[in-house]
Structure 1
Amino acid sequence: MHQLDVWGFPHGSDVSDAVAHIVAELAANAITHGHVDGRDFELRLARREPNTLRVEVADARGDRLPRRQPGEGDVESGRGLCPAEALATAWGVTERQVGKAVWAELKV
């Protein structure tokens, strides 16, 4: 959030809040579904062009790709990508030499 503030998107702004939600979801997914003993996940935040922000979270598990699956009833998991997808302009997965990177972009 500090970096967003430096880029002109103050803490508590709509952009800052949207990025915080996306980072939280992608990081939680990396920890829950992408964890490999002895390996951490990697978070990147980039400003592309003058009006696009990209959040990227990489983990070491290339075999467990994320998918959006609306939760039914009172289930406690499976809905996380729905809000992230709603906040982002686009999202996807990029293969890496080890694992994968899940990314989301926002037009600002």
Structure 2
Amino acid sequence: MLFSNLIKDKYLRVIAIISLLVLFLAAIIFYLALGSTPAPIIIHFNEYNGIDFLGSRWDVFGILLSALVMILINLFLSNFLYNRERFLSYIFVFGCLLISILILVVISVIINVN
């Protein structure tokens, strides 16, 4: 099985599910707020220079997709290292949660700027 060690450990399983749910929540929040906007979306805003980067809604979904890939890589590494170094496995899974929370903050900032 692909993530057999993550499924066995209760803490790793719960944190992995929470991190995926937070990322899914960020995608739903973005889709409900700005999903049907045809106008360009402000992706990056600098205090001194103003708007730095405009993009479409697909660029934001690209941010979400890259976060999902990072989370899946971390979960794979956590599963791979579980039997050798359990502490490092926990660090990778909590890194997944941190990535998900940061992406949720990024999505909320993009929504507030637009």
Please confirm whether the aligned pair reaches a TM-score higher than 0.5, indicating the same fold: no
In the superposition, the TM-score normalised over structure 1's length comes to: 0.36
Q: Which of these two proteins has the greater Rg computed from alpha carbons?
A: 2
